[in-house]
């Protein structure tokens, strides 16, 4: 199973603030863009899961900012699977300036799976076995990046 | 019937961009804040309408920017009812710097009413007569600000 | 001179609102993304112009919304030069759902050029002749899309 | 010295996403609104500090989401000073649904102080003694909420 796909984007003008750098809240949005892209590439489509009645809310998020991203910077986001147990999922992110390879931020996000109709936790093993198998394999290969 | 209530807010840091002024897209968000506030004060609650299965999407929006708003500016938004016919609604906005009274922007928004379930237009006269009466009176008093 | 380049993007999850569609304010941000991309492809880099002390604020914007964009939709934005006279510029946009070609929105934006240091209008002919020549040629070829 | 002032706001429509709840990235923006408000009430104005050439970028942020905030909810944000040493500052936040007192999220933010001109760390004790004294007193009274 290949690792999760990198996500590439270019900093948009409206993401800057009056310090002349990207406003820190946008990194949380970039994490979402990167996560949805990478899971989709691996065969886990958020659009399809939602159509099947499963939501994936964020239960926790953290970012450590190292260097500032600036308007028009090409940015690359690496995602590592950290933990998945059928009802919860955790991912780690490294946000890099493409041109120089500089580390801009290190981030984490935690998620659960909910049944849209009831609002209760949805165990993917029974509720969506196809996605469960993909996620189990994706997350089994992580070499303890969490340690 | 009193005119629509003014809306007051203070410019948030994350609304600025690297020109050191408020990013122009945020005025469209402020219009929404002001509109929801003013209609709510008049007895037309968007939260209640949505709970009753009616949505009010935006069908058109325009802004002419006169002066720049800046971080921490106190802003006042005046709203004028322009047109309402039971299925469509149009509003005009004047966005002002509170301290000086300077006009920052003049804006317009147009809206329709939709039935959430069917996605079709919802005539408020039958679908929500209580709100229809309030809107009819609110919009009857506008002295042709549109002319 | 080729027309302005199309801009392609995919609707991000955080751009949706609780109606399940893209929040209308985001179209104003997409216009900016498309405009900066297309002008850059034509040789007019906003990053470079700002580095040379010229800003391009938005003086007016308008959108007519035809159909709703939804999460994960592939979107294509066509830009037409409308008017340029050395101190002001106006552009028109057609925002389309890539898969079906459906028109989602028709938009306009107007801009001026400012000297960053003084805050006064900057005539590009003298201030930045290289960009002036490119813009003059780009906008001379528009076949009255404005009519 | 009184504790930091609570911040109150009402959830804006454009802050919701297609799950029908507030998009998680907005909590990071609310923290900023609350922090700027509370420090300002205590006599530490971000607007003034920036005018004096000092910036306060975010170096880390974290949120644990407990319950979902929804459109039009009245929200109260309590801020606790955690740590301040003249060059760095850390704050903790409890985001609550005003009506019920339910805890919506627990968050943290870390900051440094930079000299705008040089981009280097700015020790407030020398660079801005007035603000340093206020912050020292504000943060001295925290009863180890961090432990």
pLDDT in tens, B105-125: 999 999 999 999 999 999 999
d(C-alpha A42, C-alpha A4), whole Å = 7
CB–CB contacts below 8 A, A to C: 30
Q: Are strands C74-84 and C88-97 parallel, antiparallel or unpaired?
A: antiparallel
Residue among D21, D50, D63 minimizing CB distance to A60: D63
Beta strands in chain D (DSSP E): 7-10, 54-55, 58-65, 74-84, 88-97, 103-112, 114-115
Is B46's Cβ below 8 Å from some Cβ in C? no
The upper half-sphere exposure of residue B133, i.e. CA atoms within 13 Å in the direction of its Cβ, equals 3
Contact C65 B55 (CB under 8 A): no
Place of tokens 């991203």: A69
pLDDT of residue C3: 79
Is C14's Cβ below 8 Å from some Cβ in B? no
Higher pLDDT, C32 or A2: C32
d(C-alpha A90, C-alpha A61), whole Å = 10
Residue among D16, D17, D20 minimizing CB distance to C13: D17
> Sign of the CA dihedral A21, A26, A28, A34?
negative
Q: φ, ψ for residue C63 (rounded to 5)?
A: -140, 135
Q: Summarize the confidence of residues A67-85 as an average pLDDT.
A: 98
Could you read off the pLDDT of D53-69 as tens digits, one per residue? 999 999 999 999 999 99
Contact by Cβ (8 Å): C122, C74: no
D31 CA to chain A: closest CA distance, Å? 10
Low-confidence ranges of chain D (pLDDT < 50): 1, 144-147
pLDDT of residue A1: 47
A17 pLDDT exceeds 90? yes
d(C-alpha C76, C-alpha C6), whole Å = 7
Find which of A16, A18, A24, A28 to mutate to test the B interface (most B CBs within 10 Å of its CB). A18
CB–CB contacts below 8 A, A to B: 25
- D-chain residues near C13 (CB < 8 A): 17-18
**The two structure tokens encoding residue D37:** 């408000």
d(C-alpha A57, C-alpha A78), whole Å = 21
- D-chain residues near B46 (CB < 8 A): 13, 71-72
Q: What does DSSP assign to residue B5?
A: P
Residue among B18, B25, B65 minimizing CB distance to C25: B25
Is D14's Cβ below 8 Å from some Cβ in B? yes
The upper half-sphere exposure of residue D65, i.e. CA atoms within 13 Å in the direction of its Cβ, equals 21
Could you read off the pLDDT of B2-23 as tens digits, one per residue? 579 999 999 999 999 999 999 9
Where helices occur in chain B by DSSP H, the ranges are: 25-41, 46-51, 124-127, 129-140
* Domain boundaries along the sequence of chain D: 7-140
Q: Are strands A103-112 and A88-97 parallel, antiparallel or unpaired?
A: antiparallel
| pLDDT above 90 coverage of chain A, percent | 93
Contact by Cβ (8 Å): C134, C43: yes
Beta strands in chain C (DSSP E): 7-10, 54-55, 58-65, 74-84, 88-97, 103-112, 114-115
For C56, which residue in chain A has the nearest alpha carbon?
A13
pLDDT of residue A142: 62
Q: Topology of domain A7-140, per CATH?
A: Thiol Ester Dehydrase; Chain A (3.10.129)
């Amino acid at each position: 199973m290949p690792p999760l796909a990198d996500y590439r984007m270019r900093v948009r003008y409206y993401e800057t603030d009056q310090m002349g750098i990207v406003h820190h809240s946008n990194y949380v949005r970039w994490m979402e863009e990167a996560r949805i892209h990478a899971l989709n590439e691996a065969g886990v489509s958020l659009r399809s899961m939602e159509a099947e009645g499963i939501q994936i809310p964020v239960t926790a998020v953290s970012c450590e900012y190292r260097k500032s991203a600036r308007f028009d910077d090409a940015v690359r986001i690496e995602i590592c699977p950290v933990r998945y147990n059928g009802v919860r999922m955790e991912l780690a992110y490294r946000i890099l300036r493409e041109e120089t390879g500089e580390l801009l931020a290190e981030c984490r996000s935690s998620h659960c799976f909910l049944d849209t109709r009831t609002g209760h936790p949805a165990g993917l093993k029974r509720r969506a076995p196809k996605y469960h198998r993909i996620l189990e394999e994706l997350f089994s290969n992580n070499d303890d990046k969490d340690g």
